[in-house]
Amino acid sequence: MSEFNPATNEWYHPSKEITRGARVKDYEKLYAEADADIEAYWAKQAKSLDWFKPWKQVLDRSNAPFYKWFVGGKINIAYNALDRHIKTWRKNKVALIWEGEPGDKVVLSYWRLWKEVNKFANVLKGMGVKKGDRVTVYMGRVPELIITMLAIAKIGAIHSVVYGGFSEQALADRIEDAQSRVLVTCDGAWLRGSIVKLKDVVDEAVRRAPIVETVIVVKRTAHDVRMEQGRDYWYHDLMALPIASPTCESEVMDAEDPLFILYTSGTTGKPKGILHTHGGYAVYTSTTLANVFDIKDDDRYWCAADPGWITGHSYIVYAPLILGATSVIYEGAPNHPYPDRWWRIIEDYGVTILYTAPTAIRGLMRFGDMWPSRRDLSSLRLLGSVGEPINPEAWRWYHRVIGKENCPIMDTWWQTETGGFMISPVPSVSLKPGSATRPLPGIKIDIVDEHGESVPPGHDGVLVIQQPWPGMLRTIYGDPERFKKQYWSAFEKQGWYLTGDTARRDEDGYVWIIGRNDDVIKVSGYRLGTAEVESGLVSHPSVAESAVIGIPDEVKGNIIYAYCILKAGIQKSDELKEALKDHIRHEIGPIAVPAKIDFVDVLPKTRSGKIMRRVLRARAQGLPEGDTSTLEE
Ligand code: WTA
Closest-CA residue, ligand 1 atom 23, reads: 387
pLDDT tens digits for range 73-113: 999 999 999 999 999 999 999 999 999 999 999 999 999 99
Q: Which atom of ligand 1 is nearest to the CA of 499?
A: 21
Closest-CA residue, ligand 1 atom 13, reads: 389
pLDDT tens digits for range 296-318: 999 999 999 999 999 999 999 99
Helix ranges (DSSP H) in 495-573: 530-538
CA distances from 97 to 93, 143, 598, 601 (A): 11, 9, 46, 54
Q: Which atom of ligand 1 is nearest to the CA of 417?
A: 18
Q: Probe ligand 1: pick from 501, 512, 521, 523, max atoms within 8 Å of CB?
A: 501
- Residue predicted with more confidence, 401 or 631: 401
Closest-CA residue, ligand 1 atom 20, reads: 527
Residues 443-455 as b or e (16 or more Cβ within 10 Å = b): bbbbbbeeeeeeb
- Residue 513 Cβ contacting ligand 1 at under 6 Å: yes
Confidence of residue 335 (pLDDT cuts 50, 70, 90): very high
- Residue 306 Cβ contacting ligand 1 at under 6 Å: no
Q: Among residues 182, 273, 276, which one has the least CA distance to residue 235?
A: 182
d(CA 212, CA 197): 19
Query: Residue 165 region, left (φ>0) first, then alpha (ψ -120 to 50), else beta?
Result: alpha
Closest-CA residue, ligand 1 atom 8, reads: 415
Max CA distance (Å), the chain: 73
pLDDT of 633: 52
Closest-CA residue, ligand 1 atom 4, reads: 388
- Residue 424 Cβ contacting ligand 1 at under 6 Å: no
pLDDT tens digits for range 561-618: 999 999 999 999 999 999 999 999 999 999 999 999 999 999 998 888 888 888 898 8
- Residue 311 Cβ contacting ligand 1 at under 6 Å: yes
Contacts of 249 (CB under 8 A, 6+ apart): none
Confidence of residue 537 (pLDDT cuts 50, 70, 90): very high
CA 130 to ligand 1 centroid distance, Å: 34
629 pLDDT exceeds 90?
no
CA 525 to ligand 1 centroid distance, Å: 8
What single-letter amino acid sits at 39?
Answer: E
- Which residues lie across from 516 on neighbouring strands? 501
Contacts of 485 (CB under 8 A, 6+ apart): none
- Residue 310 Cβ contacting ligand 1 at under 6 Å: yes
350 pLDDT exceeds 50?
yes
- Residue 412 Cβ contacting ligand 1 at under 6 Å: yes
Q: Which atom of ligand 1 is nearest to the CA of 423?
A: 15
CA 231 to ligand 1 centroid distance, Å: 38
| SS3 letters across 423-454 | ECCCCCCCECCCCCECECCCCCEEEECCCCCE
Query: Residue 76 region, left (φ>0) first, then alpha (ψ -120 to 50), else beta?
Result: beta
Contacts of 603 (CB under 8 A, 6+ apart): 545, 547, 563, 565, 611, 616
CA 200 to ligand 1 centroid distance, Å: 31
Element (H, E) at 123: helix 110-126
How confident is the model over 614-624, as a mean pLDDT?
87
Q: Among residues 525, 530, 517, which one has the least CA distance to residue 562?
A: 530
CA 388 to ligand 1 centroid distance, Å: 5
Output DSSP code: residue 190.
E
Closest-CA residue, ligand 1 atom 22, reads: 415
d(CA 428, CA 449): 32
pLDDT tens digits for range 245-295: 999 999 999 999 999 999 998 777 788 999 999 999 999 999 999 999 999
Closest-CA residue, ligand 1 atom 25, reads: 415
- Residue 525 Cβ contacting ligand 1 at under 6 Å: no
d(CA 493, CA 460): 22
Helices (H) and strands (E) in the chain, counts: 21, 30
Backbone angles phi and psi of 296, in degrees to 5 = -120, 165
C-beta neighbour count of 482 within 10 angstroms: 17
**What's this model's pTM, rounded to 2 decimal places?**
0.96
d(CA 4, CA 361): 18
Beta strands at 158-161 and 134-138: parallel, antiparallel or unpaired: parallel
CA 435 to ligand 1 centroid distance, Å: 13
Q: What is the mean pLDDT of the chain?
A: 95
- Which residues lie across from 189 on neighbouring strands? 196
Taking the CA atoms of 204, 207, 208 and 213 in sequence, report the sign of the dihedral they define. Answer: positive
- Residue 588 Cβ contacting ligand 1 at under 6 Å: no
- Which residues lie across from 329 on neighbouring strands? 98
What 3-state class would DSSP assign to 93?
coil
pLDDT of 373: 97
pLDDT of 8: 82
d(CA 455, CA 461): 6
Q: What percentage of the chain reaches a pLDDT higher than 90?
A: 91
Element (H, E) at 445: strand 445-448
CA 527 to ligand 1 centroid distance, Å: 8
How confident is the model over 416-420, as a mean pLDDT?
98
pLDDT of 269: 74
pLDDT of 265: 87
pLDDT of 607: 83
pLDDT of 623: 87
Closest-CA residue, ligand 1 atom 10, reads: 415
d(CA 436, CA 409): 9
CA 9 to ligand 1 centroid distance, Å: 24
CA 516 to ligand 1 centroid distance, Å: 9
CA atoms within a 13 Å half-sphere pointing along the CA-CB vector of 278: 35
pLDDT tens digits for range 185-231: 999 999 999 999 999 999 999 999 999 999 999 999 999 999 999 99
Closest-CA residue, ligand 1 atom 15, reads: 413
CB 102 within 8 A of CB 190: yes
d(CA 281, CA 270): 25
Q: Which atom of ligand 1 is nearest to the CA of 500?
A: 21
Confidence of residue 3 (pLDDT cuts 50, 70, 90): very low
**DSSP-based helix, strand, coil % in the chain, nearest 5:** 30, 25, 45
CA 317 to ligand 1 centroid distance, Å: 19
What single-letter amino acid sits at 366?
Answer: R
Q: Which atom of ligand 1 is nearest to the CA of 527?
A: 20
How confident is the model over 317-330, as a mean pLDDT?
98
Backbone angles phi and psi of 100, in degrees to 5 = -80, 160
d(CA 114, CA 320): 15
pLDDT of 5: 57
Confidence of residue 622 (pLDDT cuts 50, 70, 90): confident
The radius of gyration computed from the CA coordinates of the chain, to the nearest angstrom, equals 24
Taking the CA atoms of 240, 243, 249 and 254 in sequence, report the sign of the dihedral they define. Answer: negative
- Residue 285 Cβ contacting ligand 1 at under 6 Å: no
CA 497 to ligand 1 centroid distance, Å: 15
